[in-house]
């Protein structure tokens, strides 16, 4: 083979090898970027009360590139007339995989009177990568929620248990609420039950209750437990919340002062004497109730009640009376027959 031709072939082969090496190294160094965009936005509005509305902004994010970094969505509400910022919120979306679609939502509160420009800004690793705008109008047409028609008929209190904590005695007080629903079925309500020390006016215990479903025109019972320091007197306050507003309040008293030692003044010289309580608080823990009396099965079917058992010792007397009654009856029949024969 001609030497010049061999050299030419080697040069061409080296060129292709070099191109392949460069392409391989370049591909390893090149990293496909992510391409996250806001494809669409939904806005759901609801009236919170007579003056405020909540806007639930949901953005649908598409990633057309490689896996993304940390994605965050910033939602801003501007007054459409003044262009002033009136509300803002941010939600963390996380990482979007290649060709993944994810929905992200943020909740903001605005005045019902007014029109708004909603701007959504997308961040990837704290770097802005896109935005989107939508307009919201006519929030005044939203109907505010109707307040539930409730009545707190009464409250009952009883001692569930007594325990010692840190050398002090605490009573677990069960608070039973009797709630009348004067309207239609209602749910989504919460009740805040709290105990206020009657002397210091300080709140010492509280509990939130989800009231669940309250059927229409019915009375429902709900229970809370408050742990109270023994020997003090308390005002138990109840507030029922619908959304962000209190719609019903009531209160009652729990008096625990009789269950601790107290000092009284006696005699003409007014001597101070410490008197122990006559009863302990544990005496007021309810005991298990006996089985309730049940109606006999026969009575449920319209039959007569069974006769009560005869007292012991009267069986012989009853038998003798029955025999005498039989003899008198036979004697009367015989007399009646004799008179009839004479006639």
Query: Is the predicted pLDDT of residue 273 greater than 60, yes or no?
Result: no
Quick check: do 36-141 and 150-273 share a fold?
Answer: yes
- Pick from 39, 33, 32, 34: nearest CA to 96: 34
What digits encode the pLDDT tens for the residues 96-114?
Answer: 888 889 999 999 999 999 9
SS3 182: coil
CATH architecture of 36-141: Sandwich (2.60)
**pLDDT the model gives residue 303:** 41
- pTM beyond 0.75, yes or no: no
Q: CA torsion, points 121, 127, 130, 132, in degrees to nearest 10? A: 0
Top-confidence residue, 288 or 36: 36
Most confident of 29-38, 138-147, 208-217, 269-278: 208-217
**pLDDT the model gives residue 49:** 76
Please tell me the chain's helix, strand, coil percentages from 3-state DSSP, rounded to the nearest 5: 20, 50, 30
**pLDDT the model gives residue 145:** 76
**pLDDT the model gives residue 159:** 92
What digits encode the pLDDT tens for the residues 185-234?
Answer: 888 899 999 999 999 999 999 999 999 999 999 999 999 999 999 999 99
Average pLDDT over residues 293-310: 42
Where are the chain's structural domains? Answer: 36-141, 150-273
Average pLDDT over residues 156-166: 91
CB 195 within 8 A of CB 155: no
Average pLDDT over residues 127-131: 89
**pLDDT the model gives residue 8:** 66
Percent with pLDDT over 70 in the chain: 68
Select 150-273's CATH number: 3.40.1350.10, 2.60.40.10, 3.40.50.1100, 2.40.110.20: 2.60.40.10
- Pick from 203, 212, 190, 208: nearest CA to 232: 203
Confidence of residue 334 (pLDDT cuts 50, 70, 90): low
What digits encode the pLDDT tens for the residues 37-88?
Answer: 899 999 999 887 778 899 999 999 998 888 888 999 999 999 999 999 999 9
Say how far apart CA 1 and CA 3 lie, in whole Å: 6
Confidence of residue 254 (pLDDT cuts 50, 70, 90): very high
């Amino acid at each position: 083979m001609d030497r010049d031709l061999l050299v030419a072939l080697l040069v061409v082969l080296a060129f292709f090898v070099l191109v392949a090496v460069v392409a391989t190294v370049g591909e390893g160094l090149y990293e496909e970027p992510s391409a996250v965009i806001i494809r669409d936005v939904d806005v759901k509005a609801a009236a919170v009360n007579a003056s405020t509305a909540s806007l639930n902004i949901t953005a649908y994010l598409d990633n057309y590139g490689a896996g993304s970094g940390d994605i965050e969505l910033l939602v801003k509400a501007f007054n459409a007339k003044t262009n002033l910022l009136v509300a803002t919120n941010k939600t963390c979306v996380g990482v979007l995989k290649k060709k993944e679609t994810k929905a992200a939502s943020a909740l903001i509160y605005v005045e019902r009177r007014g029109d708004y420009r909603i701007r959504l800004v997308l961040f990837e690793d704290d770097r802005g990568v896109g935005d989107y705008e939508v307009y919201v109008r006519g929030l005044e047409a939203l109907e505010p929620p109707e307040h539930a028609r409730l009545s707190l008929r009464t409250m009952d209190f009883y001692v569930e248990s007594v325990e010692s904590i840190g050398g002090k005695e605490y009573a677990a007080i069960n608070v039973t609420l009797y709630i009348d629903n004067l309207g239609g079925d209602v749910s989504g309500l919460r009740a805040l039950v709290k105990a206020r020390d009657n002397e210091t006016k300080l709140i010492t215990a509280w509990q939130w209750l989800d009231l669940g479903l309250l059927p229409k025109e019915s009375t429902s019972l709900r229970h809370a437990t408050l742990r109270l320091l023994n020997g003090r007197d308390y005002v138990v306050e109840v507030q029922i919340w619908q959304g962000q507003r209190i719609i019903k309040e009531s209160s009652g008293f729990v008096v625990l002062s009789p269950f601790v030692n107290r000092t009284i003044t006696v005699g003409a010289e007014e001597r101070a004497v410490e008197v122990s309580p006559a009863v302990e608080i544990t005496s007021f823990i309810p005991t298990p109730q006996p089985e309730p009396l049940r109606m006999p099965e026969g009575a449920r079917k319209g039959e007569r009640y069974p006769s009560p058992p005869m007292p012991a010792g009267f069986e012989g007397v009853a038998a003798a009376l029955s025999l005498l009654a039989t003899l008198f009856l036979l004697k009367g029949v015989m007399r009646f027959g004799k008179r009839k024969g004479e006639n």
